[in-house]
């Protein structure tokens, strides 16, 4: 254990270590311990108070453009250390270079995107929301809405699957708004976030108190939240419920945003011919969504709806493409899919496939064994190949719509070829981050959007005319909102300036146009 990395927290503008060995972080390809982390004994109340008092003041003294300049600098720091971060994503997250870059380039890209927003907002420190509303008959009495930074700390708690992008997308919005941040990545894969914390601190770009980093469990952090704080959480629905119902959160009315489970759907339109461009896009993107990051993506496609008459062809095409997924150590030549993030994840996915199989049958892959394409030991590490199931009666199979199996697993199901039927089936997921529609039929797409948009934060339209440069549903773009209703948590992040507003207070000003003009030139 002597060479094992020790990751530490950054609290009250200094590095601190917790007591005892704490949690162990593993390499999921080998089972080897790569780091340890402890937050035991860290004074969470003092950490939050320092962030609010020192960090809040230093950030609010800056204009949006100045905050944007900080984000630009941090984006560059991430880019400059990309290779080193990819290596940590491999050893601690089981990420292939492609999977890791999705996370790390996503982080630098999002920070850069928001730096441009800051530049565009210029020297302001307050944002206007809409135009002035004239209220007087004889005077300049009017009303105007403004956004101002909240006076608390933004507590950013993230899931294991995106150790870089996960906090960067929240961080970009919070810092832009003028709120200090307390970053708490999932302990399991925290070495990437920890290295970023070191790099950010060393860069000298972050004002005093604006950056707090917790390496390890949250301890009693939430017990110290105050009314002006924001709690932004990404993770499982079960932990999300704990956040929302935490006594301190309820007592103080803390603003909470939750991004949780999601059983994202893909719908193939009835107009799509086998081997057409749209069909090929559907097959390519569904299989990519199943296997990228070994399916450990909140946006991964879990439910695939295909017109009943095309079920067999879709199944064969998906299976044929999934068969090309070489599983193995993520750094090995030719490997396209690494392991799951931990032994617990592997166990959970295996048991989840068992649950799904009660509603249908496995039509590709297996959970009992894995074919490793890198020559490694099939019993070592947390490896699992992709698994495709088929469920012929989706309305009689609630498990398919409510059990998120967080791995390379999806279920293929028939629908009757109408937009109404597809919409009803998508809605059984009770709220998703993103669903995709593959069709070139404008009437079908319009009807389906009306049916499924209320159940999705984003609807991705895959069609022949954009096939050559489509991003796919899995890519979360900073200019578009991310989040979904119901089971997906009900939160909303990003979406350009919309994401910044979550860390600000909207206040209506009512008074003379001259006075309001002095506040908001």
CB 263 within 8 A of CB 426: no
Catalytic residue among 298, 359, 382, 391: 298
Output the six-digit token pair for 272: 């799509």
Per the annotation, the verdict on 259 as an active-site residue is yes
| Residue 95, both tokens | 């990420």
Q: Which one, of 496, 423, 437, 446, lies nearest residue 466 by Cα?
A: 437
Strand residue runs (E) in 247-313: 255-259, 264-268, 301-307
CB of 323 vs ligand NAP, minimal distance in Å: 26
* The CA-based dihedral angle spanning residues 214, 220, 221, 227, taken in that order and rounded to the nearest 10 degrees: 180
Q: Which among 158, 163, 343, 177 has a CA at the least distance from the CA of 243?
A: 158
Residue 476: which of 438, 433, 441, 427 has the closest Cα?
433
Q: How far is the CB of 14 from ligand NAP (least distance, A)?
A: 21
Catalytic residue (choose from 259, 329, 404, 492): 259
Q: 391 an active-site residue?
A: no
Hey, which residues does 387 pair with through a beta bridge? 409
CA atoms in the 13 A half-sphere facing the CB of 502: 30
Beta bridge partners of 504: 149
Nearer to ligand NAP, 180 or 484 (CB): 484
For the CA atoms of 314, 325, 398, 282, the dihedral, rounded to the nearest 10 degrees, stands at -40
Compute the least distance from the CB of residue 457 to ligand NAP, in Å: 9
Q: How far is the CB of 101 from ligand NAP (least distance, A)?
A: 17
Give Cα separations from 217 to 24, 54, 190, 199, 400 (angstroms): 11, 24, 11, 22, 32
> What is the nearest approach in angstroms of ligand NAP to the Cβ of residue 10?
16
Length of the chain: 521
Shortest distance, position 28 Cβ to ligand NAP, whole Å: 13
Closer residue to ligand NAP (CB): 259 or 285? 259
Binding-site ranges for ligand NAP (CB under 6 A) = 157-162, 184, 186-188, 217-218, 222, 234-236, 239, 242, 259-262, 298, 404, 406, 433, 488-489
Task: Name the token pair of 176.
Answer: 């832009």
Edge to edge, the sheet with strand 230-234 lists 14-16, 9-11, 211-213, 181-184, 154-157, 230-234, 255-259
C-beta closer to ligand NAP: residue 121 or 155: 155
User: What are the φ and ψ backbone dihedral angles of 449, each rounded to 5 degrees?
Assistant: -60, -45
Q: Given the complex with ligand NAP, which of 85 and 298 has the nearer CB atom?
A: 298
The string of DSSP codes covering 432-476 is: EEEEEEE---HHHHHHHHHHHGGGEEEEEEE-GGGGGG---TT--
**Closest to ligand NAP by CB, 289 or 404:** 404
CB closer to ligand NAP out of 275 and 453: 453
Q: Cα(248)–Cα(223) distance, rounded to whole angstroms?
A: 6
Side-chain-side CA neighbours of 371 within 13 Å: the count stands at 12
Q: Which is nearer to ligand NAP, 158 or 210 (CB)?
A: 158
Q: Which CB, 187 or 310, lies closer to ligand NAP?
A: 187
Minimal distance, residue 166 CB to ligand NAP, in Å = 6
Report, in Å, the least distance between residue 436 CB and ligand NAP.
16
The least distance separating ligand NAP from the CB of residue 348, rounded to whole angstroms, comes to 9
User: What are 326's two structure tokens?
Assistant: 């070489």
Nearer to ligand NAP, 156 or 205 (CB): 156
Q: Cβ of residue 444: shortest distance to ligand NAP, in angstroms?
A: 28
DSSP string computed for 477-489:
-TTSEE--SGGG-
Residue nearest to ligand NAP (CB): 235
Q: At what angle do helices 97-121 and 82-93 cross, to 10 degrees?
A: 130
Cα angle for residues 259, 262, 265 (degrees, 5° grid):
140
> 143 — phi, psi (to 5°)?
-125, 145
Nearer to ligand NAP, 40 or 507 (CB): 40
Q: In the structure encoding, which two tokens stand for residue 454, read together?
A: 């209320």
Catalytic residues: 259, 298
């Amino acid at each position: 254990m002597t060479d094992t990395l020790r990751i530490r927290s950054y609290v009250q503008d200094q590095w601190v270590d917790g007591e005892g060995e704490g949690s162990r972080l593993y390499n999921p390809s080998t089972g080897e311990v790569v780091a340890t982390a402890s937050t035991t004994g860290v004074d969470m109340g003092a950490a939050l108070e320092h962030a609010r008092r020192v960090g809040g003041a230093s950030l609010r003294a800056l204009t949006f453009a100045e905050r944007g300049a900080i984000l630009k600098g941090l984006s560059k720091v991430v880019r400059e250390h990309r290779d080193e971060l990819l290596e940590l994503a491999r050893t601690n997250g089981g990420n292939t270079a492609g999977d890791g870059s999705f996370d790390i380039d996503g982080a630098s890209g999002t920070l850069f995107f928001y730096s441009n927003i800051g530049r565009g907002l210029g020297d302001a420190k307050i944002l206007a929301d809409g135009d002035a509303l004239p209220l007087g008959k004889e005077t300049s009495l009017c009303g105007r809405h403004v956004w101002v930074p909240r006076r608390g700390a933004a507590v950013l708690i993230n899931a294991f699957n995106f150790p870089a992008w996960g906090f960067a997308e929240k961080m970009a919005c919070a810092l832009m708004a003028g709120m200090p941040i307390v970053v708490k990545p999932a302990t399991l894969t925290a070495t990437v976030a920890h290295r970023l914390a070191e790099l950010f601190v060393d860069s000298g770009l972050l004002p005093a108190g604006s950056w707090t980093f917790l390496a390890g469990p949250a301890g009693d952090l939430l017990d110290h939240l105050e009314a002006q704080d924001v709690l932004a959480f990404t993770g499982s629905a079960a932990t999300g419920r704990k956040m929302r119902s935490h006594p301190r959160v309820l007592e103080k009315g803390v603003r909470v945003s939750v991004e949780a489970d999601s059983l994202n759907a893909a719908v193939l339109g009835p107009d799509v011919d086998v081997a057409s461009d749209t069909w090929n896009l559907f097959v390519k993107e569904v299989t990519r969504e199943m296997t990228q990051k070994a399916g450990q993506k909140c946006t991964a496609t879990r439910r695939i709806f295909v017109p009943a008459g095309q079920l067999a062809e879709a199944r064969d095409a998906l299976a044929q493409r999934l068969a090309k997924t070489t599983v193995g150590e993520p750094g090995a030549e030719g490997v396209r899919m690494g392991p799951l993030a931990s032994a617990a994840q592997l166990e959970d996915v295996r048991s989840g496939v068992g649950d799904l199989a009660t509603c249908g049958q496995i039509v590709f892959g297996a959970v009992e064994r894995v074919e490793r394409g890198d020559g490694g030991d099939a019993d070592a590490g947390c490896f699992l190949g992709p698994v495709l199931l088929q469920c012929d009666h989706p309305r009689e199979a609630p498990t398919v719509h409510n059990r998120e199996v967080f791995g390379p697993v999806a279920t293929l199901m028939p629908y009757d070829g109408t937009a109404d039927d597809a919409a009803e089936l998508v809605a059984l997921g009770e709220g998703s981050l993103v669903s995709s529609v593959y069709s070139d039929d404008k009437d079908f797409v319009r009807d389906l959007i009306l049916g499924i948009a209320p159940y999705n934060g984003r609807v991705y339209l895959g069609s022949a005319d954009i096939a050559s440069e489509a991003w796919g549903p899995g890519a979360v773009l900073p200019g578009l909102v991310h989040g979904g209703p119901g089971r997906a948590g009900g939160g909303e992040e990003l979406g350009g300036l919309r994401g910044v507003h979550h860390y600000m207070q909207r206040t209506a000003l009512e008074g003379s146009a001259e006075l309001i003009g002095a506040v908001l030139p």
